[in-house]
Amino acid sequence: MTVISGTDGGVEGESEQQTTSTTVKLPKYKWPSVDHLTDDSVLLLDAGTDIYIWVGMLVDVDTTQALFGVPQLSDDTAVLRPMLMERRGNELSSKVMNVVEEHLRRHRVSTRQTRVHVVKQGSSMESEFLSLLVEDSNTHGQSYVEHLCEVHRQIQHRMNNSGY
């Protein structure tokens, strides 16, 4: 999970990474947890062939204009789904697109194969997004850590009962 924009309108925790033709500043990755979601932030979640961009309710107009070309995101999922992430001729948009493109390049994923989902806080798509935050317990089951602990307990139980 990457914090794209908080109250400062930048990309948090950037570190320079040299690519073939340009230097891309990649943010430090964070564990996918609801703890990183704030009303005034924009976060990027890589889910394999899908990328989710979660937008808090209190993200300022300048940020949504810079990233999506509109001053305010719709609450309608049908409007959010076809939104395009593209370079819009501003610094924030370029930074975000650099991060997305560098991430896809490193994982050898074609931009044509990747779907970008814009998720507005409080929208109907938010539950789908929240289910991907594997560090948190949710309605879909245990957190990743809880799952690993359960698997470990099951292995110990089998080992103790089998005479090893």
In the prediction, which pLDDT does 9 show? Answer: 43
pLDDT tens per residue across span 48-106:
778 888 899 999 999 989 988 888 888 776 677 666 678 888 998 888 888 888 877 77
For residue 8, pLDDT over 50 is answered with: no
Ranking 35-44, 45-54, 99-108 by mean pLDDT, the lowest is 99-108
C-beta separation of 129 from 121 below 8 A? no
Alpha-carbon Rg for the chain, nearest whole angstrom, is: 18
In the prediction, which pLDDT does 145 show? Answer: 72
Rounded to whole angstroms, the Cα distance separating 122 from 77 reads: 11
Any residues with CB less than 8 A from the CB of 150 and at least 6 apart, and which? 142
For residue 159, pLDDT over 50 is answered with: yes
C-beta separation of 107 from 50 below 8 A? no
- 43 residue type, one letter: L
pLDDT tens per residue across span 88-97:
889 988 888 8
In the prediction, which pLDDT does 138 show? Answer: 57
Domain boundaries, the chain: 2-133, 137-164
Rounded to whole angstroms, the Cα distance separating 130 from 124 reads: 11
Of these ranges, 10-14, 20-24, 79-83, 134-138, the one predicted with the greatest mean pLDDT is: 79-83
Q: Which of 102, 100, 117, 104 is nearest to 22 (CA)?
A: 102
CATH architecture for the domain at 2-133: 3-Layer(aba) Sandwich (3.40)
> How is 111-131 classified by DSSP, letter by letter?
TTT-EEEEEETTSTTHHHHHT
